[in-house]
Amino acid sequence: MSAIQVIPINWYLLLSTVLFTIGVLGVLFRRNAIIIFMSIELMLNAVNLLLVAFSSYLSDSKGQVFVFFIMAVAAAEVAVGLAILMMVYRNTKSTDINILNKLKW
């Protein structure tokens, strides 16, 4: 008994949207770069969840294959992003994104 046979697809849409928005909220809300990173992971997972839900709904495994790719990209992104953060921290002794305001004029 699969959940998709019982639960309407709209509920999954709503759940994903809420999770995604929480990710957005985290990005806006926090100043710690690591937390922002985690919020981005949250958003990616919201999308993954929706992909799996649709894959199940349409009985098409391509959606799940896409989730694999998103995972690969996320892993790569986290590795590089955290490396950058390490460098930033090494130089500024902080992970506050408001310190990184050299990107102007």
Please list every residue from 59 through 98 that binds another protein, using CB under 8 A: 59-62, 64-65, 67-69, 71-80, 82-87, 89, 95-98
Q: Is 96 helix (H, G, I), strand (E, B) or coil?
A: strand
38 binds another protein (CB under 8 A): yes
30 binds another protein (CB under 8 A): yes
40 binds another protein (CB under 8 A): no
9 binds another protein (CB under 8 A): yes
Phi, psi of 76 (to 5 degrees): -60, -45
Contact indicator for 89, 100 with CB cutoff of 8 Å? no
Q: Give the number of residues in contact with another protein, rule: CB under 8 A.
A: 81
23 binds another protein (CB under 8 A): yes
47 binds another protein (CB under 8 A): no
35 binds another protein (CB under 8 A): yes
- How far, CA to CA in Å, does 2 sit from each of 24, 30, 35, 55, 57? 30, 37, 34, 12, 10
83's enclosing H/E stretch is helix 62-92
